[in-house]
Amino acid sequence: MIWLDSLWGFFSEAAAFALGVLVILSVAIIFDYLRQKKRESKFAPRFLLAKTGEEKQTSTFDSYEFEPDGRYECIVIFFVLGKKALNALLNSKNQKKEVGSKRIFVSSRLNDTQTTNLEVSVSIVLADRFGHIAESEYRGFVDYVEGVRTQLGSKAVLKDPIPDYTEILKSSKEVYRKVSHLDSILEFSLKSSDIIDLNLFRDYMEKLGYMETFPSKFVLFDANETKLSVAEFSDSKNVFKFVFNIAVSNNPTQVLKDMFDGLRWIAEYFQCQILDKNHNEVDGQSFENILNQVEIRVGQLKMGGLFPGGRLSREVFKLR
């Protein structure tokens, strides 16, 4: 019976060992879960503020109370006779008109005491980050202006003739050169040694506020539904590229910090490197240098009349 006692002792020790391993693994899993929850609570809620927490702007982008800028826009001015005709021109249907990739803006500098000869401007940007105004876009703008004249009849009088396309094309090309010089796109990449699990990655992107608009393509919108960031795979399935649009944000430096917190959060979980557009690793010091460059670019944008987060910047620098 000695061999039975030995066998029983062996199984008892094996069972105790297995139980000990199970306890250790359970504790490790619990600590890893708590660590993940702590990281989520640290980064994700703060990052989501960039999408949901800011108050929606209405004074300069969605309303008609702004001054068009002749440096960047083709402007046609109407004298509108009477408040009824004015209200017809400023209704929501006319406010949301777009031709091609460009929006037509309607603006008016009025006070409540004015009742006759009300001045209204209709404008479209001469260029954006993708190029100068196309002839088809110009024709669409002219059709809109002519439509206003037809709709209001004698109640709307043009201050000056509509400029022809050859007249504005030269200015449009100059505007495009200036916009290209001030363009404010930042690119980062997450590089993993292994293929990134898209399903798991999708969950983390959702926690950061990104919306998957196409398979494996994610977009972060702000409160005005303007694209702040676009993220997608590069040519390799172990590299995920992020594009940040600095010029469309009211507070580019803070938004970039929040976005980068999100990148570091994902990079830590997926064991990725964060690279800049030149494929150099981004550490704390290099990120501070990037923030300094962003501050310089913000100053340049303001000097050029393209205020970050403003109506023109959102139109000129928008992502498609």
What is each CA distance from 60 to 68, 106, 229, 255, in whole angstroms?
A: 11, 11, 22, 20
Q: Residue 19 falls within a domain, yes or no?
A: no
Are 196 and 310 in a shared domain? yes
What single-letter DSSP state applies at residue 161? P
Per-chain mean pLDDT for the chain: 80
Are 249 and 167 in a shared domain? no
Task: Give the CATH number for residue 257.
Answer: 3.30.1400.10
Find the domain containing 149 and state its range: 73-177
pLDDT bracket for residue 29 (50, 70, 90): low
Identify the domain boundary among 145, 177, 209. Answer: 177
Cα 305 to Cα 265: distance, rounded to the nearest angstrom: 35
Are 213 and 312 in a shared domain? yes
What does the pLDDT read at residue 67? 86
Q: pLDDT digit string (tens) for 244-272?
A: 999 999 899 998 999 899 999 999 989 99
Q: Residue 238 falls within a domain, yes or no?
A: yes
Q: Residue 35 falls within a domain, yes or no?
A: no
Q: Residue 48 falls within a domain, yes or no?
A: no
Residue type, 198: L
Q: pLDDT digit string (tens) for 37-86?
A: 444 444 444 454 444 344 444 444 455 668 899 999 999 998 887 777 77
What is each CA distance from 116 to 68, 80, 121, 146, 194, in whole angstroms?
A: 21, 7, 15, 21, 69
Helix/strand/coil (H/E/C) assignment for every residue in 196-227? CCHHHHHHHHHHCCCEEEECCEEEEECCCCCE
Are 310 and 200 in a shared domain? yes
Are 224 and 126 in a shared domain? no
What single-letter DSSP state applies at residue 66? S
What's the mean pLDDT in 98-111? 81
Are 195 and 288 in a shared domain? yes
For residue 160, the surrounding DSSP H or E stretch is none
Token pair, residue 185, equals: 């796109």
Are 217 and 258 in a shared domain? yes
What does the pLDDT read at residue 119? 83
Q: How many domains does the chain have?
A: 2
Q: Residue 49 falls within a domain, yes or no?
A: no
Q: Evaluate if residue 137 carries a pLDDT over 80.
A: yes
Q: Residue 42 falls within a domain, yes or no?
A: no
Identify the domain boundary among 121, 156, 177. Answer: 177
pLDDT bracket for residue 217 (50, 70, 90): very high
Are 119 and 234 in a shared domain? no
Are 161 and 190 in a shared domain? no
Cα 288 to Cα 281: distance, rounded to the nearest angstrom: 13
Cα 242 to Cα 233: distance, rounded to the nearest angstrom: 9
Identify the domain boundary among 177, 192, 207. Answer: 177
Are 276 and 299 in a shared domain? yes
Lowest mean pLDDT among 13-17, 279-283, 299-303: 13-17
What is each CA distance from 222 to 62, 191, 247, 318, in whole angstroms?
A: 14, 26, 13, 12
pTM as predicted: 0.76
The residue among 88, 77, 65, 97 whose CA lies nearest residue 153 is 88
Distance of CA 64 to the CA centre of its chain: 23
Q: Residue 3 falls within a domain, yes or no?
A: no
Higher pLDDT among residues 79 and 1, named by residue:
79
Task: Give the CATH number for residue 101.
Answer: 3.30.70
Are 310 and 223 in a shared domain? yes
Q: Residue 305 falls within a domain, yes or no?
A: yes
Residue type, 151: Q
Are 127 and 226 in a shared domain? no
